[in-house]
Structure 1
Amino acid sequence: MKKVVLVTGASGYLGGRLCHALLDQGYSVKAFVRKTSDLSALPDGGGAFQIAYGDVTDYTSLLQAFSGCHVIFHAAALVEPWIPDPSRFCSVNVGGLKNVLKAYKEEAANTIEKIVYTSSFFALGSTDGYIADENQVHSAKYFSTEYEKSKAIADKIAMEAAAEGVPIVPVYPGVIYGRGKVTTGNIVALMLVERFNGRLPGYMGQENGFSFSHVDDVAQGHIAAMEKGRPGERYLLTGENASFKNVFDLAAIITQTAKPRFRIPLFLIEVYGWLSVLVSRITGKLPFISPPTVDVLRHQWAYSCEKAKVELDYNPRSLKEGLLEVLPWLKSLGLIKY
């Protein structure tokens, strides 16, 4: 019998790719989405794929969706650098996980074998001057963004649940990029669009590193965490540690276009961020750059995925390999020209 897996946040950037990957590997997938969600990135319905409507903040709808499932992929999250009501980060990212754990306890006697929880490298904190692994715990003394704060709090809740015997496997992607939705969840694609359209004329950020994770590698890492991951063990699903300067330089080499000639000072980006927030409050459209984004750029976020390589056979591609796929894809969509 096919295992039935529930994917929360299935309409999101990672969630949609995960649904496709699970179907490709023979699982029966139940996609948990809100009625207002854009479902264009999801597989066609029928057969081994079904949609369950609800919201992770609505416990009743979540509990109903759990029925008949063997594995829960809790990928739902509010992923934005800034929103007008910051309390929503806690209600979705912390409250959503609490509801998943509560629903598991109610359904535990039935079919659920494992919960794979999508955390984030932000939950472990910055790594200024070194490369971190799964042993790092966020100091919780300072947070660059409300998103980071919510994921750090949720991480603690996940580990406490694991200590109580809940079969939860937390996974920690880095900066996710690749084909799929061009949203703030795919910030590399967004920045490349800005760069190739002349709206981002220089380099952004310091020489500090980020860990870049291709979305399809992360999806495969989730499936491996379900099949091989040990409950209560953390797994970093990160990739190559590089800077956004490396991203732009590689993109220029691949497309045979000019590299940026200067670095935009962070104080100028911060001023632009404050102006963008002001415009956002008037128009309702979320800003591309905000002051919390600038704070993230001041730090290093570099991680090792050796544990996932050894235990999950996780095999992340290089940043160059990923960009060789992403750039022609963005060009085919008409979003960039070169």
Structure 2
Amino acid sequence: MKVLVTGASGYLGGRLCHALLTRGYSVRAFVRPTSDLSSLPPPSAGGASLELAYGDVTDYESLVAACSGCHVIFHTAALVEPWIPQPSRFFSVNVGGLKNVLRVYKELGTIEKIIYTSSFFALGSTDGYVADETQVHSGKFFCTEYEKSKAIADKIALEAASEGVPIVAVYPGVIYGPGKVTSGNIVAKLIIERFNGRLPGYIGYGNDRYSFCHVDDVVEGHIAALNKGQPGGRYLLTGENASFKLVFDIAAVITETKRPLFSIPLLVIEAYGWVSVLFSRITGKLPLISPPTVYVLRHQWAYSCEKAKLELNYNPRSLKEGLTEVIPWLKSLGLIKY
């Protein structure tokens, strides 16, 4: 079976390509000509073949050419940032890209299944409760343009499923783990800031909640969605619901260092975010913290992955187990010291 992975050079996409190859799949990695390919395995890794196809999910002709001869599409490509200077790009990539994938499915007639990587943001916040796959974003308020784009794309995916398209939507939580240190790996980024002294305190007061999931568990969930996921099904590939305060506390235990002594109020972080956005417009480098990041921090994002456990045999590791792997990995790269 030949599978196409869009966004193959990304944090999640690269790990997915590795896992698919080790299981004997023939993988075609869809990447942009300017993509950093360092996260991809070398050709013929694991005894199976890896093929590169160049293009962009916003370029329909390049996408249809890449999909030719493939039986499955893993659509992981997305623009994942809390803030960018041209927010319209979120919609051209995250919404337009999915529309192009669905158009390819209809045109080729040979695609047997689409595994679409959505996001917990597509379901909306969960202030005071834990949500499952039955939740649909209300659409009344969005913390970020990224959240808005993923919610719109989610509705498109659900509509396609209702029309008989064999699409399975998976919703990862806050992904962390070894791999590229990008905005999609925000946990690693914040740990780096913490141990380099640029983030001396906790973020907020510890009443935030996120569903943290290790990247390799999410990859396993994607492959299980291919083999066991029901067409039209929705599966939360999340994990332990916890705060970033707990992340920092676990990191202190693992490294045998002191915990932060104080919390940084969100108003202070928001002010820093506005300054960061100003410098970003001058330098062209995207900020780690921006005002939309703070809007997200003011809400809770807690989810249950019981359906994925039951139907996909999804087995997420604990946050402590995952961080016990990640922190020494960051140290081995020289990104943190302790």
TM-score, structure 2 length as denominator?
A: 0.98
Once the two structures are superposed, residues 169-193 of structure 1 have per-residue CA deviations (whole angstroms, 9 ceiling, x without a partner) of: 0000000000000111100000000
Identity percentage of aligned residues: 78
1:1-338 equivalence runs, <5 A: 3-46=1-44, 48-108=49-109, 110=110, 112-205=111-204, 206-338=206-338
> Whole-Å Cα distance in 1 between the matches of residues 49 and 165 of structure 2?
27
> Whole-Å Cα distance in 1 between the matches of residues 71 and 107 of structure 2?
14
> Whole-Å Cα distance in 2 between the matches of residues 279 and 269 of structure 1?
15
Q: Which moved more, 1:38-47 or 1:185-194?
A: 38-47
> Whole-Å Cα distance in 2 between the matches of residues 278 and 209 of structure 1?
29
> Whole-Å Cα distance in 1 between the matches of residues 318 and 262 of structure 2?
25
Once the two structures are superposed, residues 123-157 of structure 1 have per-residue CA deviations (whole angstroms, 9 ceiling, x without a partner) of: 00000000000000100000000000000000000
For 1:302, what is the secondary structure of its paired residue? coil
> Whole-Å Cα distance in 2 between the matches of residues 28 and 262 of structure 1?
51
> Whole-Å Cα distance in 1 between the matches of residues 325 and 2 of structure 2?
31
For 1:141, what is the secondary structure of its paired residue? coil
Regions of 4+ moved over 3 Å: none
How many angstroms does 1:232 deviate by?
0.6
Whichever residue aligns with residue 254 of structure 2, its letter is I
For 1:63, what is the secondary structure of its paired residue? helix
> Whole-Å Cα distance in 1 between the matches of residues 249 and 144 of structure 2?
27
> Whole-Å Cα distance in 2 between the matches of residues 29 and 204 of structure 1?
40
Whichever residue aligns with residue 14 of structure 1, its letter is L
For 2:203, what is the secondary structure of its paired residue? coil
Q: What 5-or-longer segments of structure 1 have no aligned partner?
A: none
RMSD of Structure 2 on Structure 1 (CA): 0.6
TM-score, structure 1 length as denominator?
A: 0.98
Whichever residue aligns with residue 76 of structure 2, its letter is A
> Whole-Å Cα distance in 2 between the matches of residues 334 and 228 of structure 1?
40
Aligned residues: 334
Whichever residue aligns with residue 153 of structure 1, its letter is I
For 1:213, what is the secondary structure of its paired residue? strand
Once the two structures are superposed, residues 260-316 of structure 1 have per-residue CA deviations (whole angstroms, 9 ceiling, x without a partner) of: 011100000000000000000000000000000000000000000000000000000
Whichever residue aligns with residue 22 of structure 1, its letter is L
How many angstroms does 1:208 deviate by?
2.0
> Whole-Å Cα distance in 1 between the matches of residues 182 and 57 of structure 2?
21
How many angstroms does 1:26 deviate by?
1.0
For 2:29, what is the secondary structure of its paired residue? strand
